Amino acid sequence: MNDMSKDKNIDIQIYNFAYLDENTKRMIRRALLKALCIPGYQVPFSSREMPMPYGWGTGGIQVTSACLIPKDVLKVIDQGADDTTNAVSIRKFFQKTANVAVTEKTSDASLIQTRHRIPETKLKEQQILVYQVPIPEPLRFLEPRETETRKMHALSEYGLMFVKLYEDIAKHGHIETAYAYPVKTNGNYVTDPSPIPKFDNPKMNNNPAIQLFGAGREQRIYAIPPYTNVKSLDFEDYPFEAMKANFKCSICGSSDSYLDEIIVSDDGKRSYICSDTDYCKEQTQLNSKEEDQ
Amino acid sequence: MYVAVKGGEKAIDNAHSWMSEIRRGDPSVPNVSLNQITEQLTLGVDRVMSEGSLYDKDLAALAIKQSRGDLIEAIFLLRAYRTTLKRFSYSKPIDTANMLCLRRISATFKDIPGGQKLGPTFDYTHRLLDFKLLAENETPLSPTQQFENKKVPHVLSFLNQEDLMQKEKDNNLDPIDITREPISFPTSRAARLQALSRGDEGFLLGLAYSTQRGYARNHAFVGELRIGLVEIELNIPELGFDINVAEIILTECETVNQFQGSKIEPPQFTRGYGLVFGQTERKALAMALIDRALRWKELGEDYSGAPAQDEEFVISHCDNIQATGFLEHIKLPHYVDFQSELELIRKIRADAKRNVKRL
């Protein structure tokens, strides 16, 4: 234990609080403020090389680094879980460089960095949710050129996106997007929600927490301020539909949380469990309390 | 049950300690020293410094050792270290005309003032494995092994005199620092050259090669390739004069390319430019060819749709640290996204089956 705290002190001495130097943090905070003022607008920022690879959460890490203060309580999840490898790695990084308190409990956290999920537990005011974003441009796979897509956003020229959604329906009867399902923020910019399953999309709407998005490799930051209207794109006759596996969690029995499918035997038997490990734990505790009573 | 994603922390620690052991290899074999790397794997060190965009041989050697010889991993280590360094000043522009050359060749003129100098090169060697190197105690000696002791003029300056070479105009703007400002497209040549200079050698090589094979073909003559020492000068406002803070080795390549002329300009030779840290000849050549291909707009040439002409394509994809990070991130868990795809594909398949039955 002594050794560990010694190591921590050394790391804190070598690097600034939360790793990034204050000038870089200021640059990121400016981008964040701009992003909050123009909900859904992708603000270019001078992303730094981090000691983790691009594509592994460097955008989220930089945003977290710029937001962290010593009294913060940090939660890091990947795929909804606190103990997935990359979540462990990122949490350790901030424990080492910022020495902040960490938690797995969604309701105890002041700042949550996430990859691919929004926690099941409702977020509150004063909480910050930081998303790791691989491709911030929702139009990228329709038009790869940034020079074009920026124009399309500026002119609200989103016809191409609606044509894509329409073609999906014409071909398959469904919109063929299961995750990273595009949303319109504050009735204005079409925004990439990061690769969360579309099950999570409705949670973005009118959320009391601040939602910040960091794309390190692509050098973009965007944001959704608290209580902002976020609407998943759809058609009147084909309304948006959140989707999850139609089962119950085999641990906590929950039927309203997003489920991961796991293969439990060599003959391919499936079982379903909550992707949000904290929510699953909470539900299990609630269940056992009820049983006790 | 439900063990698949548990134990991440312990698994990571175990993997890393195993990796450290494997990195060291057989402990009965002597540990490789940083001196050995800087002295004997010089070109690897140079590549790591150039693409890591940090000129420090010892740190580059350390990165190579730590990365087990994976140069892209080494470049990454150096880049990650680089961002933590304070930017206290910008040096004065380097004047490569003052370079003390180790090597200097021109493919356009047989004889040039200052002379051609082959220097330490693999060119004209026969690529035969040299089994003498198996004996570990060889110490080859060379009768000539000096840097030039006087500066030599740029070969292309002689074409400038006749106005045959397009003059580069100074736009008097401070170039952006692409490590401090995000690039937005269309961008400046200065930003492009910065990105190319730290870009991946393999990517640049392939793209440059594609221009030679007809994708935006513009035949390049190597007007001059020079490798040598230059001084880095810093202006210290408190002192009121410049001081020499470092000497570094650079590779500079200037190509002479045909230019048919356009509606507004008579035919003239144009330049492709490459400048890279260290002895990094292949990279500097490739950079010059790509720089020239990217100049089509400025020169009023046709856009043929070739990848090497496409600024956004080239610059967005030349950085190997960005590329390798994003490529390798697909190893990370994607359970959640995959699950949503599973649900969707099952739903669509079920619908399709129902439709078939109806038919």
DSSP assignment of A139-184 equals TTTT---HHHHHHHHHTT--HHHHHHHHHHHHHHSS----BS--EE
Across the beta sheet with B220-236, what order do the strands follow? B100-105, B220-236, B241-257, B270-277
B248: three-class secondary structure by DSSP: strand
Q: Is residue A123 part of a domain?
A: yes
Based on the fold, state whether residues A253 and A219 are members of the same structural domain.
no
Based on the fold, state whether residues A213 and A250 are members of the same structural domain.
no
Alpha-carbon distance A125 to nearest alpha carbon in chain B (angstroms): 26
Based on the fold, state whether residues A22 and A84 are members of the same structural domain.
yes
The secondary structure element, H or E, covering residue A230 is strand A230-232
Alpha-carbon distance A194 to nearest alpha carbon in chain B (angstroms): 11
Alpha-carbon distance B318 to nearest alpha carbon in chain A (angstroms): 12
Interchain proximity A260–B335, CB inside 8 Å: yes
- Closest CA in chain B for residue A147: B185
Q: How far apart are CA B100 and CA B119, in angstroms?
A: 12
Interchain proximity A173–B182, CB inside 8 Å: no
For residue range B200-247, what is the model confidence (pLDDT) as tens digits? Answer: 999 999 999 999 999 988 889 999 999 999 999 999 889 989 999 999
Based on the fold, state whether residues A26 and A129 are members of the same structural domain.
yes
Q: Does A11 touch chain B (CB under 8 A)?
A: no
A2: confidence class by pLDDT, cuts 50, 70, 90 = very low
Based on the fold, state whether residues A137 and A249 are members of the same structural domain.
no
Residue of B7, B325, B336 with shortest CB distance to A197: B336
Q: Is residue A156 part of a domain?
A: no
For residue range A155-196, what is the model confidence (pLDDT) as tens digits? Answer: 999 999 999 999 999 988 889 899 999 999 999 999 999 999
Q: Is residue A259 part of a domain?
A: yes
Residues of A marked as catalytic: 40, 249, 252, 274, 280
What is the predicted pLDDT for the residue at B4?
A: 43
> Which domain, by its residues, includes A111?
2-146+178-232
Interchain proximity B76–A53, CB inside 8 Å: yes
| Whole-Å CA distances, A207 to A114, A128, A241, B243, B281 | 16, 11, 19, 57, 55
Based on the fold, state whether residues A184 and A59 are members of the same structural domain.
yes
Top residue of B83, B336, B348 to mutate, by most chain A CBs within 10 Å, is: B336
Based on the fold, state whether residues A185 and A290 are members of the same structural domain.
no
Mean pLDDT on A123-151:
96
Based on the fold, state whether residues A211 and A292 are members of the same structural domain.
no
**Percentage of chain B with pLDDT > 90?**
65
Based on the fold, state whether residues A129 and A195 are members of the same structural domain.
yes
Alpha-carbon distance A16 to nearest alpha carbon in chain B (angstroms): 9
- Closest CA in chain B for residue A169: B348
Overall domain count for chain A? 2
Based on the fold, state whether residues A251 and A224 are members of the same structural domain.
no
Based on the fold, state whether residues A292 and A251 are members of the same structural domain.
yes
The ipTM is 0.86
Interchain proximity B82–A87, CB inside 8 Å: no
Bridge partners of A78, per DSSP, are A81, A115
Nearest to A84 by CA among A61, A43, A115, A130: A115
Backbone angles phi, psi at A198, to 5 degrees: -65, -15
B325: confidence class by pLDDT, cuts 50, 70, 90 = very high
Residue of B1, B180, B340 with shortest CB distance to A271: B1
Interchain proximity B329–A56, CB inside 8 Å: yes
Based on the fold, state whether residues A138 and A28 are members of the same structural domain.
yes
Whole-prediction pTM value? 0.90
Q: Is residue A227 part of a domain?
A: yes
Interchain proximity B83–A87, CB inside 8 Å: no
